[in-house]
Structures are given as C-alpha cells and as structure tokens.
Amino acid sequence: MKEKQNKILIKRWFDRHLHVRDGEVMSLVLPATVCQQASGALIMPNLKYPDQIDTPEKVEAYYRRIKETLPWWSDFEPRLALYLTDTTPASEIKKWIDTGYLTAVKLYMADKNGEGGTTGSQHGVRNLLGRYPVFEMMEKHGIPLLGHFEAAEREVDEFDREIVSIERDLVPLIKVFPGLKVVFEHITDGRSADFVAEVDHPIYATATPQGMMINRNAMFLGGMNPGNYCKPVPKREEHRMRVRKHVTSGNPRFGAGTDSAPHDEAAKSHCYGCAAGIFTAPNAVELYTTIFDEDNALKHLGPFMSENFIDLYDMEVSTEFMTIKRESWEVPMKLGPVQIFKGGTTLNWKLQDWPHGKMMF
C-alpha cells in the first residue's frame, strides 16, 4: 500500500480570479489572500459601481488603494483588468494596457435591457459584435480576454448558461480571431471544460474550489442555502466531476482562480435578491490541496496553483516556496460578517506559517 504524502512544497501561487471589493471590505478580506502566501492575484473589476474601473485613471486609483491596504512587508502584486463596456474605444486599448496597471480585459455579458448575469455586470457588453474592433486590437497586441461566459437572458435555463454562451458567443469569436488569448473564468459546466481541453485555440480556464467541491444540491441543503449560491451556479454532479477530472489530470490549460467573493451575511441571507458569491480566500490553498489529494493527484497541484499560464497576467513563477502539511484544523465560520466556505468543518491539510518571520495581520 502506498504511503500517504504528509508534506508538500510548492511555489507560491497566483490567484487568477479574486474579488477584494473596496474600502472597509477590502481591508477585511485582502489580508486573507496575502496570508495564504499568494504572490499576487488578478483582481476583478466589477465593483459596486462598475464605472469606477472603466478608464485607466480609475484603474490606477484602484490599484493604489489596493497597494495601500497591504502591509509594509508584503510583496503581493495585484494585476487588474479593464471592465469592457459597449463604449470602450478600440483605439485606446493598447495605450491603456501600456499604463502598467492593466494586464487584461474583462468581459461581462448583459442582456438588451442591461441586466447582467452576475454581481456588478449590468454595465457589461450587450452587443458583442460591436466589440469586435476591440478584440481585433487585443489579438494584434497579445492582450488576453477574461470572459465570464454566461448568457444573461432570463429565458436561458440557469444551468445551461455557460454552454449557450460558448455556442453563441465564444465559438464565433475565436473563429474570427484565431490568435486572441482567452481565459474562460470560473468554469463549472463539464461541457465547457471539455471544450477548453479540446479546442484548437489559445484558451485557458480558471477553476474554483467550490466548483470542484459542491454540486447544485448544495444550494438546497437544509432548505434554501444561500451560503452555497454563486455565479455561475453549481451544476449537476456529472459536470462537477468532469471539470474536476480535467483539472486534477494536470492539463496545463487549467489554473487556480478562486472567485473568492465576499458578501456580508445580511446580503447573503435575503429571501429575495440573495447575493451571489462564495468566500474562499482564508482557506483556498487547503481547499485546492484537499481536492488534489482526494483525486490522488498531488503531483499536479503545484503547476495548477503556481505555474499554468500565469504569464498571461504579466507574472513570473515565484522562486519562493510554501509548505502545506497534513494537519487537521477547523475552518472558522466567518471573517467579520462574511461567511467562509466550509466554515465549521474540518480540513486535513494546513498551510504552514510564513517563512522568514514575516508579520501576520
């Protein structure tokens, strides 16, 4: 019988999809990712008011607010994406990227009435064909597109929104722009994962801990369970397992992107209009490690966390290591007013303390 591995060393990781919000909320949640020893993260632009981050000047101001929130000793490097709208000028894309604060463009879809499919997406793109000049410039200059590929229209079944968007939006897009680099964000549909793994195109995907740990039944545990509600919503068990199989196989097209999305308990517990989002920042490393351990795939954990396609975000693979040990611990229920995913349960892997005596928050 093969002896269990009880200690793992991997290079410091990069979170390819993270929400830190702004103001007091950012001061609360950003330290959680820093203390998970991430070298940096791609910070999502869908703030409370999305037009806060749709010009380079606003992006620079947000970048500085993030940096000012970090402790003096931290080398955590935020990477930002421009919020793409129907009025973003194609002629300015390259110049804006060259400011140094932007590394990618983020696509959120909205329906013809301006209703988005997720938090803060109401300013998203209604007319995708109208954005083709932007994509042409992005392809020309190697600027990656980060896509929340979900159809936003109400008439589209909630559990089919990814695959509808692939067939209607993504496939025509990459046919016209065969060199456009695309990241399919927070993938949850097995059909989407199959597409990313097999398509002849420079396309990659981020996968979340929750997307690989829960299926749609989790939203109904004990009655309606808003703590397990996120966008895209969890799918059937067969989809969860297909996504997970691709990820833990070591396929380099898949990388860690937590989609950690903090909402205070009041926003999550509304009877109507419950906020979509699951907060994984305080235990993301341990969650991912648990997934790969359960699938007997710990050898693939390091590349998934720390290496796969991070060059798209203008980041280099870290030269520092972090240590994860097989050690039981109970996940806290909350960080301030924000519920933590798997709070109150026991995980059997624990990220060890910072090297070099770095201060904690």
Q: Is 75 a catalytic residue?
A: no
Catalytic residue among 15, 169, 189, 259: 259
Return mean pLDDT, the chain. 91
Per-residue confidence (pLDDT) for residue 338, from 0 to 100 = 97
Cα–Cα distances in Å, from 67 out to 40, 70, 74, 88, 318? 11, 5, 9, 26, 19
Spans of all domains in the chain: 9-320
Homologous superfamily (CATH) for 9-320 = Metal-dependent hydrolases (3.20.20.140)
Per-residue confidence (pLDDT) for residue 92, from 0 to 100 = 87
Residue pair 289/301 in contact (Cβ under 8 Å)? The answer is yes
Give the separation between CA 256 and CA 300, rounded to whole angstroms. 12
The DSSP annotation for 327-351 comes to EEEEPPSEETTEEPTTTTSEEEEEE
Phi, psi values for residue 192, rounded to 5°: -65, -45
Give the separation between CA 206 and CA 61, rounded to whole angstroms. 27
Give the separation between CA 59 and CA 65, rounded to whole angstroms. 10
Give the separation between CA 152 and CA 249, rounded to whole angstroms. 31
Cα–Cα distances in Å, from 182 out to 28, 104, 170, 173? 31, 10, 9, 10
Per-residue confidence (pLDDT) for residue 354, from 0 to 100 = 75
Question: pLDDT digits over 247-273, tens only?
Answer: 999 999 999 999 999 999 889 888 888
Angle between helices 284-294 and 237-248 (to 10 degrees): 90
The DSSP annotation for 36-68 comes to TT-SEEEE----SSGGGGSSHHHHHHHHHHHHH
Per-residue confidence (pLDDT) for residue 18, from 0 to 100 = 98
Q: Closest Cα partner for 318 from 17, 40, 19?
A: 40
Give the residues of the chain that fall short of pLDDT 50.
1, 357, 359-361
